[in-house]
């Protein structure tokens, strides 16, 4: 689980490495906490938002907010900032039914 500012260049490097090794990899953003990218072994990516909910004995909730080829870094970061973390918290509290 690497941490870096997610940019197009870093994504290209990670996708190439994942294809070469045949393993999936996670990349977490240093600019926006809880925002990340999972790159599968075939090079396809999924944008993620994760949040620790429930205090000390809580659980880590991770939701997908989009896929890499159609959604760019800026679009995914904007979507993550727009309230995806609040949606996870509300879902856990039972306020939001999904």
Could you state, in order of their start, the residue ranges of all structural domains in the chain?
A: 2-93
Q: In terms of CATH architecture, what is 2-93?
A: 2-Layer Sandwich (3.30)
pLDDT band at 97 (very low <50, low <70, confident <90, very high): very low
Greater confidence, 89 or 78?
78
Q: Which residues of 75-98 are buried (b: 16+ CB within 10 A; e: fewer)?
A: ebbebbeeebbebbeeeeeeeeee
The pLDDT value given to residue 28 = 95
pTM for the model stands at 0.78
């Amino acid at each position: 689980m690497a941490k870096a500012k997610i940019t197009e260049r870093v994504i290209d490097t990670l996708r190439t490495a994942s294809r070469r090794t045949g393993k999936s990899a996670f990349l977490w953003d240093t600019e926006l906490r809880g925002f990340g990218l999972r790159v599968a072994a075939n090079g396809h990516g999924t944008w993620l938002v994760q949040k620790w909910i429930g205090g000390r004995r809580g659980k880590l909730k991770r939701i997908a907010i989009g896929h890499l080829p159609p959604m760019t870094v800026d679009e995914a970061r904007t979507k993550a900032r727009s309230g995806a973390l609040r949606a996870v918290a509300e879902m856990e509290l039972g306020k939001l039914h999904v």
